[in-house]
Structure 1
Amino acid sequence: MNWLLVAAGGMVGAPLRYLTDRLVQSRHDTVFPWGTLAVNVTGCLILGLLTGAAPGSNLQLLLGAGLCGALTTYSTFSYETLRLAEDGAGLLAVANIVLSVSAGLGAAFVGVWVGGAL
């Protein structure tokens, strides 16, 4: 049963990641990967909220492992950062690393704090 919850969450998270990435990226005329940043920070916030609120294990599987697991993407973050560096945009690559890690951690901490207050 657990794997069904993860799969159901993933079925929502994966297309949501793709659509959000395309929507956000279409609004920016730059090579910086704003779409990937947006989905990763959002996923960190959602996971932080779940962790702080300490819901039942079924909700953690559905939303945490399933939705957030499919919504966020470390591989795309890594690939896009590498591409920026290879294309001569080293400062943007470093900015992507610093911004992604700090915003992701910040969103997770805020999520845990807000979730705990609920």
Structure 2
Amino acid sequence: MPHVTIVRGSAENPVYQVGGKSFVFFRTPRPDAVDPETGERYPDVIVFWVGSEADKLALVQDEGSPFFTTPHFDGHPSVLVRACRLGELSRAELAEVVQDAWLSRASARRAKAWLEAHPPA
């Protein structure tokens, strides 16, 4: 994706931004995302912005999907996924999630230019 910069979070975790706005970032382990059996915090949670609440619900309500959310993210336009589950997505599915995250945070001008150059199938 064009115009992407990578900054480092407080724990040196990568945060991908477009125009100074984060669209994908790797979280540090937090108490809201834990293994239900052990109570251990997930060490590999990635946050992807989404375009709308409907987009979020479409991803997290599908029981076969690796995407999830937590109460901490209620009302926030994002979904979570564990890195260890990314293999459950095809390359095309993952590319679409990244593109949609970028589009949700890019300026209208950048988003329009991207969509004109890469029309949806």
Report the TM-score when normalising by structure 2. 0.25
Structure with greater helix share of residues:
1
Report the TM-score when normalising by structure 1. 0.25
Structure with greater strand share of residues:
2
